[in-house]
């Protein structure tokens, strides 16, 4: 598994701000949180190639409940911040859900892994060639979701360079 890079630990103020953004609809925080994600991306990005961020796709139910694609929005904010310091960075959306998944909150690591197994598939590889692929998500808990994304990308002949997240639980320090 690719070693993920996180900007911080998912506790205290960072945990609170992420909850306000995702669960309370305070979408004005996208720029601030995008900068947190951008710091992880900059650490993960190779210096010699352009970068494409591949966000974990939100489910249709989650998008409808929240009113937007939070990970996609964070990815676009991060890419903008990364470009502002001279790194060629775009966002691709090659992954989609292949089936319904249960809400991950409250699931054990084993159950999260089962829940995500086979849950994603490739929509398209367009725009990914010649770029370093960085899988991005907001919070790394057990790693099941990003592992599924890496699996799908790899089986499609792509080689993700890294995983970047805003925050990781203490077990991923």
pLDDT per position as a tens digit, 55-75:
999 867 666 666 677 899 999
Q: Please tell me the pTM assigned to this model.
A: 0.88
Distance CA 83, CA 38 (A): 10
Average pLDDT estimate for 100-118: 72
C-alpha dihedral, 167 to 116 to 161 to 69, nearest 10°: -60
Torsion of CA 91, 123, 165, 47, to 10 degrees: -50
Q: Say if residue 7's pLDDT is above 70.
A: yes
Q: Which two tokens stand for residue 14?
A: 């960072």
Mean pLDDT value of segment 109-113: 75
User: Per residue in 78-105, pLDDT tens?
Assistant: 999 999 999 999 999 888 777 777 666 7
CATH 3.40.50 for domain 4-172, yes or no, is yes
Q: In Å, what is the CA distance from 82 to each residue of 47, 50, 69, 150, 165?
A: 12, 11, 20, 22, 14
């Amino acid at each position: 598994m690719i070693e993920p890079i996180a900007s911080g630990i998912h506790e205290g103020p960072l945990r609170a701000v992420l909850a306000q953004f995702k669960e309370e609809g305070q979408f004005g925080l996208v720029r601030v949180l995008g900068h947190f994600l951008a710091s992880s991306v900059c650490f993960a990005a190779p210096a010699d190639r352009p970068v494409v961020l591949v966000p974990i796709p939100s489910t249709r139910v989650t998008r409808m409940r929240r009113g937007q694609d939070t990970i996609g929005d964070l990815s676009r904010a991060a890419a903008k911040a990364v470009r502002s310091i001279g790194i060629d960075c775009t966002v691709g959306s090659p992954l989609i859900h292949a089936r319904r998944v249960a809400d991950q909150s409250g699931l054990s690591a084993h159950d999260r892994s089962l829940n995500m197994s086979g849950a994603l598939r490739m929509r398209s590889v367009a725009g990914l060639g010649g770029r370093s692929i960085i899988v991005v998500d907001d919070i790394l808990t057990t790693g099941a979701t990003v592992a599924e994304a890496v699996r799908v990308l790899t089986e499609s002949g792509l080689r993700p360079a890294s995983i970047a997240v805003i925050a990781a639980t203490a077990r991923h320090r």
